[in-house]
A and B are shown apart, each in its own frame.
Chain A
Amino acid sequence: MKVKSPPPPVYAFGYLTPPESGNAINGLGETKKRRARQVFHSSTGEPLAWKALDDFFSLINPIGTVRHVLANTWQLRRSDGAVKPRRREVPDPSAMAAEVKALALGLGATLVGVAEVQEDSLFEGRNPGLRYAICLGLPMDRGEMESAPHPRAAIEVMRAYRVVAGIAVRLAEKIRAMGWPARAYGNPNSTDILMIPLAVRAGLGELGKHGSMISTEHGSNFRLAAVLTDLPLALDTPVDIGVQDVCSVCRRCVDDCPPRAILEEKQMVRGERKWYVDFDKCIPYFVKTFGCAICIEVCPWSEPGRGPSLSARVLAKRRGARSR
């Protein structure tokens, strides 16, 4: 996809008193492991450093996105609930994982995997007290997303969040009906958890250079939700589809990012080397363009049907290099 004349990174909004750098809050350059802190989007009551810009973002968004936000918030009132007193025993977590995945796919998810909830996937001060995460992915409409950065793409992003959240809510209800606690998380402001580390461990894809997930099936053109539960489930493992090989040489998202926010090399972030997007450059442009999404749409993996062949080619090349 080629971006058609995106607006320049020049802003008619700003801070009189600039907040703390989002990169500092995110732990850029920190060598010690620690949990992430919320910076921008949040659904909790605590004040955030960048809340004024988040509020501004909420109000300048088109009504079409607001409609999905409201509908999503309404359906998420059922994210948690009463657990059926009689618990279904689970002698075989593998069989139960297969059953739950079939349920999720039946409800409309296209990607599903199971990971254990660990420290790196919880925000500071948060503890949902549930052991497993069932991660769900749902593609966005490529036709709509190709308009990015445009309100049409923003509306499609929020539509996908709403739909995948609905799947998570219904899956959590089914698990609670089995007598196990389950809580759905289906909001970009996901309160307790960081979706991406969970989804990577659940084998849905890999973290790309642009800071978003890349899957074989949808590239980056999809949205995540999750169900946290204590239902015993066999865990999935992270996948290697060749994203790291491609991202280390590809510059597509770096070159097409108007504010030049995507860093070319992996960075040390909270004690881990990983791809990182400069928050302070990305977010103002994200706000100006109602969620931008250029990087995820120009990503070669996001071209429909390209992921499987790209992955096969890269992995074959790597195997060939090793055997020489």
Chain B
Amino acid sequence: MRTLDGSGRLSDLRLLRRLCAMLWQYLTVGGRLRREYRLRESRGEVFWVDAQGPTEHREQSLRQDR
């Protein structure tokens, strides 16, 4: 449980930074992934999520900070 120690604003800033990082990842890493996935789909090939997908994304690192 949070307390009134004045750290709320700092954690809000950290969260905001991470949300921006998530959006950036979605646009960049995600954009490359979506293109690659669509390409493979059109060729009848398989996109291997455990080999070619991202290893870390959004909420894992985000939650550790909260």
| Chain A residues in the interface with B (C-beta under 8 A) | 11-17, 19, 42-45, 52-53, 55-56, 58-60, 63, 66, 69-70, 73-74, 77, 80-83, 181, 183, 189, 191
Contact = CB atoms under 8 A, between A and B. Distances in A.
Identify whether the interface residues of B are mostly helix, strand, loop, or mixed. helix
B49 A55 contact: yes
B21 to A, nearest CB: 11
A74 B49 contact: no
Contacts, number: 99
Interface in B1-45: 1-4, 8, 11-12, 15-16, 19, 22-23, 25-26, 29-30, 33-34, 37, 40-41, 44-45
Interface residues on B, range: 35 or more
26 contacts: A11-B46, A12-B47, A13-B48, A14-B48, A15-B50, A16-B48, A17-B50, A43-B63, A44-B63, A52-B49, A55-B57, A56-B53, A58-B30, A58-B58, A59-B53, A60-B37, A66-B26, A73-B15, A74-B15, A74-B16, A77-B15, A77-B66, A80-B2, A82-B2, A83-B1, A189-B59
Given A63-B26, A73-B59, A82-B2, 13 more contacts: A12-B44, A13-B49, A14-B47, A56-B49, A59-B30, A59-B57, A60-B33, A60-B34, A70-B22, A73-B62, A77-B66, A82-B3, A82-B4
